Amino acid sequence: MEFAKGLTPHTILILVDKSEKIVTMGALFQKMNFKVVTAISLYEALKMIDQEMPHLIICDAIIADGTAGNLYDRMQQQALFKNIPILVLVANKTKEQLSPLRGRKFAGFMLGKFDGRALTTKVKEILEGHGDISPFFVPADQCHLAGDCTLAINAKVIGRVGDQMVCQSEAEVDGEAALLCQPMDKSKGPALLKMGSNVLKAGVLYNLFPMNVIRGSGRGWIGHLPEINLDAINASTDGRRVMFYDPKPERFEQFKKVLAGYEIELIHAGNLQSAAAMIIRESDGTLGCVYLDELPANSSGIAIKEAIARMNDKARPPVIAGTTSLNAKSTREIRFLKKPFGLGLLVESMDQAFKSRTNFAEGASANIEVQFQTPAKLLGLDETGGIVQLKFPVVANSKLYLTHPVLNELWGGKSEVRIISAMRLENSNVWQAKFENFAAQGSKSRYWERLAKQIAQRLVSASA
């Protein structure tokens, strides 16, 4: 099976005895588009191996709490990790450095002082053995999984601007894509869309399609879409402003600086009383959403929850709350994020909140729920998701839905994936896309072992 060059980003674990080495090597490999994870002890490294399932480990011969030999022996104890290559950095040809390496099959050695060019050359040489896929990749036919599947984007048709149909969706569309627009309302017919383009307004993504090239029975309802004014959207709101409750000003300042890079403006509320007052005062649409850090269980925490719940749906800004409580359950009024959560999840949650605040003139928008669908072929699975093949590119970082009856069952009824990369197969007219399953964002080894076990059980049942 042939794969597009550079399709799968390789993951490298750097295990060294000094943090300054991590900075130097990390920058080197990130420029090469590798995902870099780091550790400065054997204990940390073993946790990262379980979490990330790296494709290569670069390890000092001697580390703070062990040796490269100790790492090798621990990895040999688990079948899942025993074939991960280890490249050892040997600073000096001393007995202390060399003894732990004897009798073990390492992928290679780098002797002497650090040489960035020689190291990158050696790393490329080792990873070429994996090609353009993960070393854990398993073809779909080996898993007895059918190749036929569907990629879909959730969207909402909101109207038209001139001769362009306007949709609000969760992903950019490519101009070369031919997409089946399938309304959730079965009384409305489907339509084939082509020549899509994308517009970003107030942090919200819109897809535009020329109406004169739309085909199918859906042309009937599409022809009656209301005229809208994209420039008027969100005119009554600052869009990406967030009231951020955090009793620690220094932590707020850190978040303010980081989130500014995502064009998110934070407004500080240092206590719950001022937070409640600001929510009520600015409930006219000037706040894109509200973030509350660790709501206390006492009366002040209960009071703000009740105040939010009493607000009507149109006035209430979306509320996100960070919590360490295992019992916190998200409701219509508050979405809880269990700590520790990554920056990506916080930004994504805020983006969803901003989208839910999108305003159109009363009665002017159609708001027809649809899915953009396209056929694809499942090529195989790996520790983060897998690879599909299709006839046109999808946009990296897009959130899509992969429909495959058996695979969705193995994923516990889930279908949401994120596109990591999409590349054209050399000398062909087909594209391949590497996707991540959102269920694999925790421990990749646990996800992969659970999936492999389920596939093995299916194979046993099929042969019985």
Quickly state the pLDDT bin for 151 (edges 50, 70, 90).
very high
| pLDDT the model gives residue 232 | 57
| pLDDT the model gives residue 364 | 54
Rounded to an integer, the average pLDDT of 334-353 is 82
| pLDDT the model gives residue 60 | 92
Contact 413, 438 (CB under 8 A): no
Q: Is the pLDDT of residue 463 over 80?
A: no
| pLDDT the model gives residue 362 | 41
Q: How far is CA 364 from the centre of its chain?
A: 34
What 3-state DSSP class applies to 143? helix
| pLDDT the model gives residue 119 | 92
Share of the chain above pLDDT 90, in %: 31
Quickly state the pLDDT bin for 71 (edges 50, 70, 90).
very high
Rounded to an integer, the average pLDDT of 231-239 is 51
DSSP-assigned states of every residue in 280-300: HHTTTTT-SEEEEES--SSHH
Q: Which residue has the higher pLDDT, 187 or 132?
A: 187
Q: Is the pLDDT of residue 361 over 50?
A: no
Rounded to an integer, the average pLDDT of 286-312 is 75
| pLDDT the model gives residue 262 | 81
Q: Is the pLDDT of residue 101 over 70?
A: yes
Q: Which residue has the higher pLDDT, 380 or 396?
A: 380
Q: Which of 98-102, 171-175, 359-363 has maximum average pLDDT? A: 98-102
Q: Which residue has the higher pLDDT, 234 or 19?
A: 19
Q: Is the pLDDT of residue 422 over 70?
A: yes
Element (H, E) at 155: strand 148-161
Q: Which of 133-142, 185-194, 350-359 has the lowest mean pLDDT?
A: 350-359
Rounded to an integer, the average pLDDT of 101-117 is 89
Q: What is the 3-state secondary structure (H, E, C) of 330-344?
A: CCCCEEEEECCCCHH
| pLDDT the model gives residue 334 | 81
- Residue 47 to residue 19: CA distance in whole angstroms: 18
Task: Look at residues 33, 2, 53, 40 and name the one whose alpha carbon lies nearest to residue 383.
Answer: 53
- Residue 59 to residue 108: CA distance in whole angstroms: 11
Q: Which residue has the higher pLDDT, 206 or 188?
A: 188
Average pLDDT, the chain: 84
Write down the pTM of the prediction: 0.67
- Residue 320 to residue 306: CA distance in whole angstroms: 15
Q: Is the pLDDT of residue 234 over 50?
A: no
